Amino acid sequence: MSDTRTGSAWPLVLLLIVAAPLGARAGASAGLLPPALEWRLGAARTSRLLPIRGEPALPVRLQIPRIGVDAAITAVDLRPDGSLEVPAARDAGWYRRTPVPGAHGSAVLTGHVDTPRAPAIFARLAELRPGDRIGVAGEDGWTTVFEVRALSRHAKAALPPALWRPDRRRLLRVITCGGSFDHQRRSYHDNIVVHTVAVGRWQPDGDRLVP
């Protein structure tokens, strides 16, 4: 599925994140996070994966085989006006005020769903399903492999505070715009959130980050 909106200004992902660490409020329209957030690894596929030990290196590359994503990761932060810096259309942005992907806690990657001309990096993000895998390569050459546990959708102004609370697990949330498009404001009403948990790491011997 693609939420492409050609001819409109780029729908920024900025509102999806900045409100949360600074005091997000959960609105009635957003609902609660799905029960699947209380994850258990269960029978996760672990072949070729090693346990994660220590702190992972800064992220440099993202692969999501299910939806054909293979992209650079750049660090993004808040602008002076409180908005979030936006990565290039084909890049993922790691919100540097969250943990490094693969560290304990809830790391966040963001990106565009489309541009005025074409789909962007996360145009197909909503197609992911539980069990799909995501690879985040660090600058040290090791890849942390995450497994999708759930998807949820929330109003931009009402992301649940649970997204940002400390956690002993190694979590990654991937977020982009979703829902209906507001032509007057030139932005989407909602955010799609993909919730994942780290299942191990490995050192690829080629271009494939996800075993």
Among 161, 195, 154, 152, CA closest to 20: 161
Query: So what's the pLDDT on residue 135?
Result: 98
Backbone φ, ψ for residue 106 (5° rounding): -110, 100
pLDDT of 136: 98
In sequence order, the 6+-apart residues with CB closer than 8 A to the CB of 43 are: none
pLDDT along the chain (211 residues), means of 10: 38 40 33 35 59 94 97 92 81 95 95 84 94 97 96 79 83 84 64 94 91 89
pLDDT of residue 114: 82
**Sequence-distant (≥ 6) Cβ neighbours of residue 27 within 8 angstroms:** 155, 157, 158
Write down the pLDDT at residue 85.
82
Q: Which amino acid is at 67?
A: I
Cβ-based burial of 95 (10 A; exposed 0-12, middle 13-18, buried ≥19): buried
Per-residue confidence (pLDDT) for residue 147, from 0 to 100:
97
Q: Could you give the dihedral angle defined by the CA atoms of residues 126, 94, 171 and 199, in that order, rounded to the nearest 10 degrees?
A: 80
Q: What would the DSSP string read from start to end of 94-125? A: EETTSPPTTSSEEEEEE--SB-SSSB-TTTTG
Q: CA 31, CA 28: separation in Å to the nearest integer?
A: 6
- The backbone torsions φ and ψ at residue 126, rounded to the nearest 5 degrees and listed phi first, read -70, -10
Q: Where are the alpha helices (DSSP H) in the chain?
A: 14-18
Query: Quick one: pLDDT at residue 13?
Result: 40
**Contacts of 159 by beta carbon, 8 Å cutoff, 6+ apart:** 16, 17, 19, 20, 24, 26, 30, 191, 193
| Amino acid 184: pLDDT | 60
Residue 2: Cβ within 10 Å count = 15
Q: Is the pTM of this model over 0.75?
A: yes
Q: Quick one: pLDDT at residue 180? A: 60
Please tell me the predicted confidence (pLDDT) of residue 39: 33
pLDDT value at residue 42 = 39
User: Strand, helix or coil at 182?
Assistant: strand
> What CATH number has the domain spanning 14-28+57-202?
2.40.260.10
pLDDT at 8: 36
Tokens found for residue 88 = 């290039």
- The dihedral built from the CA positions of residue 135, 140, 142 and 146, taken in this order, carries a sign that is negative
Q: Could you state, in order of their start, the residue ranges of all structural domains in the chain?
A: 14-28+57-202
